[in-house]
Amino acid sequence: MTVIDGVIEKVRRHDPDQTEFHQAVKEVMHSLEPTVERHPEFVKAKIYERIVEPDRVIMFRVPWVDDQGEVQVNRGFRVQFNNAIGPYKGGLRFHPSVDLGILKFLGFEQIFKNSLTTLPMGGAKGGSDFDPKGKSDTEVMRFCQAFMRELFRHIGADIDVPAGDIGVGAREIGYLYGYYKKIVNEHTGVLTGKGLEYGGSLVRPEATGYGAVYFAAEMLATRGEDFKDKVVAVSGAGNVAQYAVAKANELGAKVITLCDSTASIIDEAGICDEKWDFLCELKNVRRGRIKEYADKYGVLCVEGKNIWDVIREQGIKVDIAVPSATQNEIDGKNAAALVKNGCFCISEGANMPSPPEAIEVYQESNVLYGPGKAANAGGVATSGLEMTQNSIKMPWTREEVDNRLKLIMKEIHKACLDAAEEYGRKGDYMTGANIAGFMKVATAMLAYGVV
């Protein structure tokens, strides 16, 4: 058995039910095969075995009281995966599907993503099976306070700096940070994604979506292409999707799709201008369903169906896809239909939206494929910039942050291509991202000895 197969097998054996985690480990570990031969020192120090085991997992009870006065109990988690190159850093997800396997997959991916940003950040992820949907603001506040009542003792500006993810946006970060500040009596950069008035960074809300489009633009440029007049499919309707749509519009493309967990919409005329404002108000303020967009603008809405199914079934042609909803959203069949209909660039705003069978389709068809850990790294990179501004106690201008974000995305793109070429997989962004992210962390782990 090879070193890599041994590691994958051990992970499977230890935690047989953590399927998303197995999927992420398998993908990363297989791309690291070429490093094994060149770095016997990593093998000897068991770096491959160590890197798949979190530094620690914190799991806790989150009791809170709903608006009816009933006690509710949720489960909270923080997976502090690896702090070899900097303090733990990674988002919090509030969604009923959250369990240890999902958070371990996200925390594991975060190690390599954070390393790719060129900033000193380790990998972590956390969250809860709490569902903010349908809850009042005061219920969300009480839950966030109960969650922070335990989390506060495990985090710190130089220890672990959480941020948002699915179900955790500006409102939740405000409640979480407000409570942390109250009980610790300290105003530090312990969370990112904060409001501008209390230590947030300009461009942080936009960063993941913008970054995924900047990354796509870099990939397109390698083939002499750009966004102008391209038709784009975006999934999701939340933070990442909204700003992916905005930036693609700005670069001259036409974005025609969106979805949430209840419906998918197709707007052939393009989701732009007043319609984009409506989307943001619908999702960020009224917290409504995407169907309302279709009702208001009279466009196609398919309830209960994933957008990639709708695109395949309706035979819709798109040039570029920016999946920005959730993991494993594009299956192999839908990936094949996308590519067959002319899609030649996929830039992942979401984490692991493409399962292995979809990635196989992209690789066989030679489409430009930017994996999440590279393409959506703009969010955490800008969180890193927020941490820097908090440390130096000086905010940067919008232009300064955006320029840094653009530069970081350019550097990530180059790092992926360089590593892919160096290890004999020219043009393979996935292998390049995994190897480039891994090398820095592995080298740091080796330097520390056996700890």
42 vs 215, beta carbon nearer ligand NDP? 215
In the complex, the smallest distance separating the C-beta of residue 118 from ligand NDP, rounded to whole angstroms, is 17
From 89, 125, 230, 254, active-site residue: 125
In the complex, the smallest distance separating the C-beta of residue 225 from ligand NDP, rounded to whole angstroms, is 24
8 A C-beta contact, residue 271 and residue 258: yes
Query: Listing from the earlier edge strand, what are the strands of the sheet with 123-128?
Result: 56-65, 71-82, 123-128, 88-94, 160-163
8 A C-beta contact, residue 335 and residue 362: yes
The secondary structure element, H or E, covering residue 172 is helix 170-184
4 vs 256, beta carbon nearer ligand NDP? 256
126 vs 379, beta carbon nearer ligand NDP? 379
Determine the Cα–Cα distance for residues 114 and 437; give it in Å rounded to an integer.
Answer: 8
| Residue 126 CA neighbour count, 13 Å, CB half | 28
3 vs 436, beta carbon nearer ligand NDP? 436
Neighbours of 330 (CB within 10 A): 30
Cα R_g (the chain), whole angstroms: 21
In the complex, the smallest distance separating the C-beta of residue 398 from ligand NDP, rounded to whole angstroms, is 17
Q: Which residue from 53, 64, 57 is spatially nearest to 14, judged by alpha carbons?
A: 53
Which chain residues interact with ligand NDP by CB under 6 A? 164-167, 169, 208, 236-241, 259-262, 306, 324-326, 349-351, 376, 379
Give the CA-trace dihedral at 217, 220, 226, 230, to 10 degrees. -100
Neighbours of 112 (CB within 10 A): 28
293 vs 362, beta carbon nearer ligand NDP? 293
3 vs 266, beta carbon nearer ligand NDP? 266
249 vs 351, beta carbon nearer ligand NDP? 351
In the complex, the smallest distance separating the C-beta of residue 176 from ligand NDP, rounded to whole angstroms, is 15
| Residue 337 CA neighbour count, 13 Å, CB half | 16
| Residue 327 CA neighbour count, 13 Å, CB half | 21
Which residues, including other chains, have CB under 8 Å from residue 180's CB and lie 6 or more apart? 148, 152, 155, 190, 191
In the complex, the smallest distance separating the C-beta of residue 230 from ligand NDP, rounded to whole angstroms, is 21
H helices of 185-259, in order, are: 204-221, 239-250
What is the number of the residue whose Cβ is closest to ligand NDP? 238
H helices of 261-306, in order, are: 274-280, 291-297
Look-up of token digits 């949720």: 74
Q: Is 125 a catalytic residue?
A: yes
Q: Which residue from 62, 50, 59 is spatially nearest to 25, judged by alpha carbons?
A: 50
At 362, give phi and psi (nearest 5°). Answer: -60, -45
Which residues, including other chains, have CB under 8 Å from residue 388's CB and lie 6 or more apart? none
7 vs 168, beta carbon nearer ligand NDP? 168
Catalytic residues: 125
